[in-house]
A and B are shown apart, each in its own frame.
Chain A
Amino acid sequence: MTLALDQIATGGTASGANEEALRRQAHGERRSMLALTLPALLLVGFVVLIPIGWLFWLSFVDKSGFTLIHYQRLLHPTYLLTLRTTFELAFTVTVVCLLLGYPLAYLASQLPRRWASLVLLCVLFPFWTSLLVRTYAWLVLLQRRGLVNTWLQKLGIVEEPLRLVHNFTGTAIGMTHIMLPFMVLPLYATMKTISEDYMRAAANLGASPIRAFWQIYVPLSFPGLAAGLIVVFVLSLGFYVTPALLGGGRVMMWAMQIERSTTVYADWGAASAMGVVLLVITLGILWLVSRLTGSAKLGEAR
């Protein structure tokens, strides 16, 4: 610092000038590194940003120019029913995934490494299997003469085959199967960081295993829990394939409605408006959650 002041007094020296050039060069070098991301950015811009932007624009125009009519039409009962079905299904799937996924993630985080790897492999396996294949598997299993019904009848649990497919139930089962890994993996990641000392301290202070679980363990698992819940819910909202196949036309989801408007009715106004609504809801939920988990820092669950 003193050196610089001296130099100001004497009108600057060589080292002062170099500092400036060096800083510029370092900055420029870092900038040019970003150029490596250009091909990827161009792709995303071309294939994602432009089409979405175009859709956005389409949702606000029709033959006569700027209009909100596409959005207004969405207030029609059929659309509202679709929205309700979509939320109901997403909510149901999320809750079931929570009930099934939390215990599994918990157990995996407690097991010694070899067993934990085995469990994780079982969770990853559906991940790597085609969505279509898994949906198809459920289609076959849940049909009237399918495996599930045959076994239920054999075991004497039911007399008539249950209607498990081409309805809400079948769709929910299939989607749960698809979404479960998305719940388990973030939960597991967080749970692995929860030190066993916390549970020991809780026990030592007098908490029974149940109280310790609800009062100490579950709060410490919140980051992974929130991530899992959000991912599953948001993905379920926009889901297309499984409801389309397992719903048998009786379960109309928002995404199916969008596809219909495009391919059957070529109603781009409706389709784009619905798309924008879905996007806004999706991004809105993501933003809301990032605000909540960002501001209420739970401290590090070490």
Chain B
Amino acid sequence: MLRQPATSTQITHLDRLWLYVLCGLVIVFLIAPTLLVIPMSFSDSRYLSFPPESWSLRWYRAYFGSLEWRDATVVSLQAAFLTTIVATVTGTLAAYGLHLARSGAGRLVQVALTLPMMIPVILLAIGIFLFFAPLELNNSLSGLVLAHTVLALPLVLISVTAGFKSFDMNQEMVARSMGASRPRAFLTVTLPQIRNSVISGALLAFITSLDEVVIGLLIAGGDKATLTRRMFLALRDEIDPTIAAISSLLIVLSIVLLAVSQYFQSEPRD
């Protein structure tokens, strides 16, 4: 079986065994550490042994029982949801406008809108902190949402633009020729068909906001502290095992969101 050719140039599986082993190790490297957190979070000891010597839910209780952790979670979720809405709407509209414009100025706009991806986050963080201070947007939900939206915008833009590439704009023209106004045609004809890429973009926006650390570190303080900020500070000072419980929940959330996004990407178009 190993002596069967793996390629048409007659390289056998045996010849490539080292490749399979190496890649297997790399894959383990990629997913094992993250997954290991989940069982470790049920460990009773502070040192989070694996396999856990004794099982307990104490770290989960610590998480759910703590007012500060709960508040931080609420802030993060609120910011994530609002960011998703704002980023998806503005990003989709922008992608739509860019797709229709197709002019030289459009390319410039596209570069401008993907700029946040190219600038190091720490720089954005201190700049926003500086700028928001006099505007009293620091330590506020609206400031956080503004900052996160700008980070999520390029992702929504790229996702929806890809969706437009495989959509035939003639359909919209047909709708308009039948009497629909531009907005109506967009909402009833175009949007349902690029739905998958919009949803992908929205999911990316959500996870980007929820997982965002650096900006939140600087501008989300006080009672508007994000979950990630609290986690970061707790980790920097000492390794609080409660983090394991929170991490496990976040991992499960990631798996769910990844599964949902995969589902929407592979869903056949109508």
- Interface residues, chain A, with chain B CB atoms under 8 Å away: 30-31, 33-37, 39-41, 43-44, 46-52, 54-55, 58, 100-101, 103-104, 106-107, 110, 119, 121-126, 128-141, 143, 145, 147, 150, 177, 180-181, 196, 199-200, 202-203, 209, 212, 237-238, 240-241, 244-245, 255, 258-259, 262-263, 268, 271-272, 275, 278-279, 282-283, 286
Contact = CB atoms under 8 A, between A and B. Distances in A.
B109 interface: yes
Nearest to B50: A147
Max chain A Cβ within 10 angstroms of own Cβ: one of B214, B250, B257: B214
B9 interface: yes
Contact of A48 (B116, B211, B228): B116
B90 A39 contact: yes
A245 B231 CA distance: 11
Interface string B12-52: 00010001101100110111011011001000000111100
B147 A140 contact: no
Contacts of A209: 9, 11, 15
Given A36-B94, A143-B239, A241 B214 contact: yes
Given A48-B115, A177-B30, A34 B109 contact: yes
Contacts of B31: 122, 125-126
Nearest to A27: B103
B254 A130 contact: yes
B36 A238 contact: no
Interface stretch (B64-72, B119-127, B188-196): B119-127
Interface stretch (B54-62, B128-136, B172-180): B128-136
Contacts of A141: 33, 36
Contact of B129 (A49, A237, A262): A262
Interface in B198-233: 207, 210-211, 213-214, 217-218, 228, 231-232
A136 B243 contact: yes
Given A44-B116, A54-B131, A140-B244, A122 B123 contact: no
Contacts of B6: 110
Contact of A37 (B9, B93, B149): B93
A138 B146 contact: no
B34 A258 contact: no
A121 B263 CA distance: 12
Max chain B Cβ within 10 angstroms of own Cβ: one of A123, A128, A135, A275: A128
A40 B97 CA distance: 11
Interface of B: 6-9, 11, 15, 19-20, 22-23, 26-27, 29-31, 33-34, 36-37, 40, 47-50, 89-91, 93-94, 96-98, 100-103, 105-106, 109, 112-113, 115-116, 118-131, 146-147, 149-150, 153, 157, 207, 210-211, 213-214, 217-218, 228, 231-232, 235-236, 239, 243-244, 247, 250-251, 254-255, 257-258, 261-262
A255 B46 CA distance: 31
A237 B118 CA distance: 12
Given A136-B235, A259-B126, A130 B119 contact: no
Given A37-B93, A125-B30, A196 B8 contact: yes
Contacts of B124: 48, 51-52
Nearest to A271: B126
A133 B34 contact: yes
A75 B101 CA distance: 47
A122 B27 contact: yes
A48 B235 contact: no
B113 A137 contact: no
Max chain B Cβ within 10 angstroms of own Cβ: one of A31, A33, A124, A259: A33
A124 B259 CA distance: 11
A241 B231 CA distance: 11
A122 B25 CA distance: 12
Given A33-B100, A100-B26, A209-B9, 11 more contacts: A34-B109, A43-B150, A44-B112, A121-B258, A121-B262, A132-B213, A241-B214, A245-B235, A258-B122, A275-B122, A282-B119
B101 A31 contact: yes
B235 A52 contact: no
Contact of A199 (B7, B90, B258): B7
9 contacts: A37-B98, A43-B150, A103-B23, A136-B37, A240-B122, A244-B232, A259-B217, A259-B218, A279-B120
